[in-house]
């Protein structure tokens, strides 16, 4: 289900999604990469002081108290949720994203706020209100690839991301994610799992803001 271009006037192509990780994710991105994302940096980086947030492919990550092996490497630095992990098998990730033999899928995930991403939050809040939902938190996610140590931006394909709900979330409610991408498209992403403590949703190639919404 899509709510296309909600509040389009506030979502010009210049929509800023803060991205400190693009230059300071403990070396996860190559600063010499001409294809690296160029979003504005956040006031501070949650990864630069926590190298453990960078995980390799097949690493175990605690998602709502359960160990889940994430299929792709990346910077899993979000703190407002109880863990995140890519659950799509690696072979399917590569096929979905159309990667070449020399490319490896990669992802960065960290928290974002209305102060860091005001345009994105304007659309998130409007979509949540239309759904009669409540925004609990939001994540800035960039799904791409690495090739020869450099970041490669992608535009097509998607993966599934299991996300532990924020601590204290009401597990009797239904959850979804609202995705806002540069350019103005808003997408409502339904929960793909049956665990009341988690929400699993589609993450699209490229960068986007993903809000966790209780209904």
What domain range includes position 58? 2-214
Nearest-angstrom CA–CA distance, 29 and 55:
13
Would you list the DSSP string of 40-107? PPPSS-TTTT-GGGEE-TT-EEEETTEEEE-SSEEEE---SSS-EEE-S-HHHHHHHHT--TT-EEEE
Nearest-angstrom CA–CA distance, 163 and 110:
12
The predicted model scores a pTM of: 0.81
Q: What was the pLDDT predicted at 11? A: 37
**Domain count across the chain:** 1
Q: What was the pLDDT predicted at 182? A: 86
- For residue 206, give both structure tokens: 């490229």
Greater confidence (50 vs 181) lies with 181
> What is the average pLDDT value for the chain, to the nearest integer?
81
Nearest-angstrom CA–CA distance, 71 and 10:
35
Confidence grade of residue 15 (pLDDT, cut at 50, 70, 90): very low
Mean pLDDT to the nearest integer, 89-116: 95
Q: What was the pLDDT predicted at 117? A: 87
Q: What was the pLDDT predicted at 191? A: 96
Confidence grade of residue 16 (pLDDT, cut at 50, 70, 90): very low
Mean pLDDT to the nearest integer, 39-56: 53
Confidence grade of residue 183 (pLDDT, cut at 50, 70, 90): confident
Q: What was the pLDDT predicted at 60? A: 96
Pairing of the two strands 158-164 and 198-204: antiparallel
């Amino acid at each position: 289900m899509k709510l296309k271009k909600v509040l389009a006037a506030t979502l010009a192509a210049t929509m800023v999604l803060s991205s400190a990780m693009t230059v300071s994710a403990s070396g996860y991105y190559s600063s010499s990469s001409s294809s690296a994302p160029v979003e504005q940096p956040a006031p501070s980086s949650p990864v630069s002081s926590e190298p453990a947030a960078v995980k390799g492919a097949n690493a175990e990550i605690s998602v709502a108290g359960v160990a889940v092996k994430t299929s792709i490497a990346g910077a899993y630095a979000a703190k407002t949720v109880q863990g995140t992990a890519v659950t799509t098998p690696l072979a399917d990730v590569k096929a979905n994203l159309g990667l070449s033999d020399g490319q490896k899928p990669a992802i960065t995930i960290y928290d974002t706020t209305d102060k860091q991403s005001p345009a994105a939050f304007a659309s998130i809040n409007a979509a949540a209100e239309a759904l009669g939902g409540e925004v609990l938190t939001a994540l800035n996610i960039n799904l791409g690839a690495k090739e020869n140590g450099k970041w490669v931006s992608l535009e097509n394909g998607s993966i599934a991301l299991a996300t532990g709900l924020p601590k204290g979330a009401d597990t009797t409610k239904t959850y979804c994610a609202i995705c806002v991408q540069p350019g103005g498209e808003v997408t409502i992403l339904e929960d793909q799992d049956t665990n009341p403590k988690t929400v699993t949703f589609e993450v699209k190639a490229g960068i986007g803001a993903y809000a966790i919404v209780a209904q």
